Amino acid sequence: MTTLTLTSEQLTRFHEDGYIVVSSLLDADEIELLRNIAKADHALERDAGSRADGEGGAVKLVVRNDLPDDTIYGAIVRSRRIVVAMEQLLGDEVYHYHHKMILKEARVGGAWAWHQDYGYWYSNGCLFPDMGSCMIAVDRATKENGCLQVLKRSHLLGRMDHGKVGDQTGADPERVAAARERLELVYCELEPGAAIFFHANTLHRSDQNKSEHPRWAFIACYNTKHNDPYKDSKHPRYSPLEAWEDARVAEVGRQQWEGMQ
């Protein structure tokens, strides 16, 4: 089990850069359980949607709004190490907005266009961009297999207009091009179990996976209590999120994995 206490330096980095990377957010046992469960989970394969990337490829992903008590996915979303960190970073109580698994397979995994998450969460009735995500590497993430890319400090640009890019929603290409000329591009290469916490206005993308190695990633998305949407949408409005002790991730994961054998 891994614990997490954010330092004042990490909080400063998040507010200045729009993201922070945390190594070993999940320990070796926890990430092995998550990987084994996810890759044996027939429901993920059954429910995976495919979104064309406008570059000749497509991304497979599964988005969930429900938060079951008996899956490792729900235990991770509720894990105190993540919930408390997100509340520190966003300055308020947070709740589960949704979570998703990105299934970027070897050789065929598609790209994600440049976008801000708030670029489309805005339309769900969220008045403020006071939202964030924690992306955990299930497989090793490298430049070769299409790791996450971010533009440092891009969250300070404010929300950009977004439009269709293939089957995806992408940020205004003209403004993205201008931002890329001025801001540092960072490739977020991660070992399994490492994570990146990023602000909802941080511009990010990923390339197609043309390597021999898959890049799956689990993403937990949170909204703040004061930002409870003013209208219903496909994602939930505010309800209290119970933070579980971190040890529950392995406990629930082992029970789920045993039940799958």
Residue type, 8: S
CATH entry, 11-231+241-260, from 2.60.120.620, 2.170.190.11, 2.130.10.10, 3.30.420.40: 2.60.120.620
Asked if pLDDT for residue 53 goes beyond 60, the answer is: no
Asked if pLDDT for residue 13 goes beyond 60, the answer is: yes
Does this model's pTM top 0.85? My answer is yes
Q: Is 4 helix (H, G, I), strand (E, B) or coil?
A: coil
Question: What is the reported pLDDT for 193?
Answer: 98
Q: Is 133 helix (H, G, I), strand (E, B) or coil?
A: strand
Question: What is the reported pLDDT for 168?
Answer: 72
Sheet order of strands, 215-224 included = 19-22, 195-199, 131-137, 215-224, 94-104, 58-64, 49-52
Angle 248-260/28-40 helices, nearest 10 degrees? 40
pLDDT band at 108 (very low <50, low <70, confident <90, very high): confident
Residue type, 50: S
Q: How far apart are CA 164 and CA 156, in angstroms?
A: 23
Question: What is the reported pLDDT for 54?
Answer: 61
- Mean pLDDT of the chain, nearest integer: 94
Tell me what the mean pLDDT of segment 223-234 comes to: 98
Domain boundaries, the chain: 11-231+241-260
By the 10 Å C-beta count (0-12 exposed, 13-18 middle, 19+ buried), 167 is classed as middle
pLDDT band at 2 (very low <50, low <70, confident <90, very high): low
Q: How far apart are CA 7 and CA 171, in angstroms?
A: 32
Asked if pLDDT for residue 121 goes beyond 60, the answer is: yes
